[in-house]
Amino acid sequence: MADPSTAPPLTRASVEAAHRLIKPFIHETPVLTNSTLNKLASTPRTPEELAGTEWEGREPAKPVIRFWFKCENFQRGGAFKARGAFHAIERLKREPGWEEGGGREKGVVTHSSGNHAGALSLAALASSLPAHIVMPANASPIKVAAVRDTYRANVTFSGPTAAEREAAAARVVAETGARLVPPYDHPDILLGQGTAALELQEQFARLNREAAAAAAATGGKPPRLDAVITPLSGGGLLSGTALACSPRDGEEDRPGPPIYVFGAEPTLDGADDGRRGLAQGERIAAIGPTRTIADGLRTPVGKVPWTIIHDRKLVRAVYGVSETQIKRALRLVWERMKVVVEPSAVVGLAAALFNEEFRALIEKEGGEDGWDLGVIFSGGNVSLDGLEALFREDSS
């Protein structure tokens, strides 16, 4: 990995520079809308739906929500992780003395449950670098196959916890001399991931250009992206998004409200470490094995992302969702949008549909106009067999 001490400052300008660097290697993924999901999100939940939850007996929230889905499931490698991986590789290749010291022959190492593994393997292959990937033994078979067979990386299996994966990666580094590229806990990674939210803002402006012109002509309210919500695991995507949605240097006092940034996590088996850490004001450094179907979200928040999410307060809140809510959101995306996404991708949508705390906030601050809410679909690396088994469990 490029030396963190030489990394660019963690600012919006650095996200913009990262975007210029990786643009030749990535896709500008589409932004989709869906009127059915807007209607569902803007319909109050019934008392029966709230029965048995922490919001039982409470007046259902009545938000008005318009979704803008940034579809990173269409990214190279099937996930947003390609952005950080290509940025890390391109920065590493520009490090003084790296190539002369045998870096090209030794290659790179990482540990990942799947999407970063595939992304780094892809980026390494594009630069003809060896890639050594540590994956937990319970990783998705389709993700293992992509890493080993499609991108021709060397795969080593480890235990399921972050500590076990990190220890295995350290052994591979010692054996090969390859450079470690962490899945999220490095400035180069999160700056690359933030380019998805940067594109989302630009695409939102393009898609609403006519409405903005009409508002300017009549003195009406122009359309604006009010907030963005992303999945939270190690924190690279969420912290990068927070930087991308922050003011440019010198524009800290710009008029108008900010673009708020939120995260979402599964609550099963303590996978909501980010939410709990924010509540207690301290990062939770380790979590035990979790069975959440959102297999890309089984990692605690990293140290570098935490400085942005918590210390700089660039993320407003993180919300938890249940396995049932993730499945319901997943089914809606498949059936209503006809888009293939993985369970991890829909936790933000699930929060907007089912988390009454989040919905009440949108109602309060959005009022009658509501919010235009960006939702980043983080990836689509899921097998049809796996999804069939997932939904078969619900019907059995």
- In tens digits, the chain (396 residues) has pLDDT values of 556 677 899 999 999 999 999 999 999 999 999 999 999 999 999 999 999 999 999 999 999 999 999 999 999 999 999 999 999 999 999 998 888 888 899 999 999 877 889 999 999 999 999 999 999 888 878 788 889 999 999 999 999 887 898 899 999 999 999 999 998 999 999 999 999 999 999 999 999 999 899 889 998 888 999 999 999 999 999 999 999 999 876 555 555 579 999 999 999 999 999 999 999 999 999 898 888 999 889 889 999 999 999 999 999 999 999 999 999 999 999 999 999 999 999 999 999 999 999 999 999 999 999 999 999 999 998 877 777 777 776 654
Look-up: residue for tokens 């933000």? 348
Whether residues 369 and 263 share a domain: the answer is: yes
Whether residues 55 and 140 share a domain: the answer is: no
**Which of 336, 369, 335, 375 has the alpha carbon at shortest distance from 237?**
375
Q: Which entry of 14, 112, 113, 158 is annotated as an active-site residue? A: 113
Whether residues 220 and 363 share a domain: the answer is: yes
Whether residues 254 and 371 share a domain: the answer is: yes
| pLDDT for res 253 | 53
**Which of 133, 277, 8 has the alpha carbon at shortest distance from 287?**
277
Q: Which entry of 14, 70, 81, 143 is annotated as an active-site residue? A: 81
For residue 16, being part of any structural domain is answered with no
Please give the tally of structural domains in the chain: 2
| pLDDT for res 296 | 87
**Which of 70, 91, 88, 89 has the alpha carbon at shortest distance from 80?**
70
Q: Identify the H or E element spanning 348.
A: helix 347-354
Q: Is 70 a catalytic residue?
A: no
Which residues, 6+ apart, have CB-to-CB distance to 58 below 8 Å?
A: 50, 356
| pLDDT for res 332 | 97
Whether residues 233 and 318 share a domain: the answer is: yes
Q: Is 81 a catalytic residue?
A: yes
Whether residues 237 and 274 share a domain: the answer is: yes
Give me the phi and psi of 197, to 5 degrees please: -70, -30
As a whole number of angstroms, the distance between CA 238 and CA 68 comes to 17
As a whole number of angstroms, the distance between CA 196 and CA 204 comes to 12
Q: What does pTM read for this prediction?
A: 0.93
Whether residues 204 and 248 share a domain: the answer is: yes
**Which residue range(s) make up the domain with 38?**
30-74+194-391
| pLDDT for res 396 | 44
Domain boundary, last residue among 152, 186, 220: 186
Question: How is residue 120 annotated by DSSP?
Answer: H
As a whole number of angstroms, the distance between CA 98 and CA 128 comes to 15
Three-state secondary-structure class, residue 131: strand
